[in-house]
Amino acid sequence: MDDRYGEFRMLVEHFFRRFFDNDTIQVDGDTQTTVVRALSIVAMPGLTYAFFLQNQYPRPLWGEIGDHYFFVMLSFVVMGAVSIFEWEMLFPDRLDFLVLSPLSLKPMQMLAAKAAALIGFLALFLVACNILATWWLPAISRFDFFRHVYAHGAAVLLAGVFAALFFLALGGVLLCVLDAARFRLISPIMQMLSVMLLVLLILHYVQYGDSMQTLLSEPLKAARWLPPLWFLGVYEQLLHGDAAQPFAREMAQYAIRGTVTAALVVLLTYPMAWARMRRISIEGGSRRQGPPSRWWTRLVHGVIRRPGERAAFHFIGQTMARNNRYQVYLAMYGGTGLALAVACAVRFRANGGSLQPVLFDEGLHAMMPLLLFWVIAGLHTAFAFPLNLPARWVFRITGVNVSECAAAARKWAFLCAASVMGCIVAVLRVAGWDMRHMVVQIVCGLCLCLLLTDGFFFFQQSVPFNQPRMPGRTNFPLMLTLYIGVLTPFIFGMIHLEILLEKNLAKLLLLVLTSIAIHVALGVLRRGSEEVEEEMEGYEGEFQVLGLS
């Protein structure tokens, strides 16, 4: 009995560490530091907001309801984001099955250990996200302290549990319904859409947090489809009892039904998804690939001339398609960009006691720069993750020039951005924009694709996915400056530029010439920096070899 308990405990610890043992978020297997850092990140927003509110109380009733909704929404968003970020680890992956299956372990033992580790992992983030605010907010409010602690804790914990169960159920249903190939195709799309919805919840709270009374007035319409509002109903029902607002009872019923339904779906699909993953791992996850299409081959050969650059280009595409971790990061960036674009383009207007969506012209102008920025930034981040270090030997023995690999990365990012630009133009055309506006969007989009790619990849002097992580190289204040201090004026500047160009199309030529000049200048500077770096290293290529040939 002790041996079985010891094996089970070791399995639980192994699966728990697997959630954090990831080269993209840590260095040299430092799991403890990674755990502390991750828990600190999720705990900070709630504590900061509760600390800010201590000077705001007492507040009007609907102001307090808005504050309660923030903490419920925060728990929902954090647990949803954690579940999406660890999407492929919610179920055992191929490595787990290949390593553990030959051992004398029973399948049910592995299933129970993975479930226990998953529960512990999600509970750790759920408690870290809510523990501080659960005591701080009741301390500064006018309600009975212990009753408020009970209402706050129950509502936020239930909201987080529902979010985790929902995404776990979503992954289980997809695994049970789709085959391996279709699951790999649909999974990143679902992740991106899920991230978009989570970010939209935050953005809409920032924009319309003062309109809670209008949104929750009788009869309830669109509010029924927002799960965080369900748990706001639980909050108000537990805090005020029979004196709660009319929406609370109905929303609380939705919360209980939704949580029970999600739990039942997880209990039903998780064992089935486990068996499906086990069979895929044993049978092999590879699939036969047909020859590439002729138009794609001609496009690649036309754009990329040098063999080494072409090889690196194909290496990037195959790596992105094969590795789920890269897809998760791109889904995070893509979903965030989509959410910002939708929040800018769609505004809500109060009409007869309800909020109606309307298109905002300046917000539509912001779609192009926003999405192109986040797509190229996401690709730049993904290329920097050292998840393919074992593939470095290929570039060592072939002697591929690093500058060719860096050029392939830039062209890959440019083509992806150009594809996104085409989708944006199509959406704007459907929205009713005329050809004059379309021409401005196309020209501005191509210029942005060129300049943003040059800007983000100017210092790219390594093979994508093959640069070892260097501790201390990540500058967090610089990243905040880029995404907050630089992005905002950049977007507003592009909006005014697009509107100006729509009034005078002749100025498009000046924009094109300026962009080409900047591109050529950056190319000259980049080549100069490459030559200096090679000279300083006593150039033998990117990789140091033994010189035995």
Q: Which amino acid belongs to residue 223?
A: A
How far CA 41 is from CA of 80, 325, 457, in Å, comes to 15, 20, 28
Q: How far apart are CA 429 and CA 433, in angstroms?
A: 5
Structure tokens at 489: 């004026």
Give the model's pLDDT for residue 490: 85
Residue with tokens 């920097």: 384
Of 195-199, 268-272, 474-478, 482-486, the least confident = 474-478
Q: Radius of gyration (Cα) for the chain, nearest Å?
A: 26
Q: Which amino acid belongs to residue 275?
A: A
- How far from chain centre, in Å, is Cα 406? 25
More confident residue, 417 or 354: 417
**350: helix, coil or strand?**
strand
> Where are the alpha helices (H) located in 141-245, listed in sequence order?
145-177, 180-208, 212-215, 227-240
Q: 31-53 and 61-85 helices cross at what angle (nearest 10)?
A: 170
Q: Residues 304, 385, 521, CA angle at the centre, nearest 5°? A: 45
Is the per-residue pLDDT at 240 higher than 60? yes
**356: helix, coil or strand?**
strand
Q: How far apart are CA 79 and CA 422, in angstroms?
A: 34
Give the model's pLDDT for residue 257: 93
More confident residue, 534 or 260: 260
Q: What are phi and psi of 516, to 5 degrees?
A: -65, -40
Question: Are 369 and 441 within 8 A, CB to CB?
Answer: no
Q: Residues 491, 24, 18, CA angle at the centre, nearest 5°? A: 135
Helices and strands: H and E segment counts in the chain:
20, 2
Give the model's pLDDT for residue 387: 64
Q: In which band, very low, low, confident or very high, does the pLDDT at 260 lie, cut at 50, 70 and 90?
A: very high
For residue 265, give the nearest of 190, 169, 178, 171 by alpha carbon.
169
Q: In which band, very low, low, confident or very high, does the pLDDT at 534 lie, cut at 50, 70 and 90?
A: very low
Is the per-residue pLDDT at 525 higher than 90? no
In our burial notation (b when 16+ CB lie closer than 10 A, e otherwise), range 172-189 reads: bbbbeeeebeebbeebbe
Is the per-residue pLDDT at 549 higher than 60? no
DSSP per residue over 52-119, as a string? HHTTT-S--HHHHHHHHHHHHHHHHHHHHHHHHHTGGGSS--HHHHHHHTTSS--HHHHHHHHHHHHH
| Mean pLDDT value across residues 429-451 | 88
Give the model's pLDDT for residue 538: 38
How far CA 44 is from CA of 39, 68, 78, 336, in Å, comes to 9, 17, 11, 20
- How far from chain centre, in Å, is Cα 520? 33
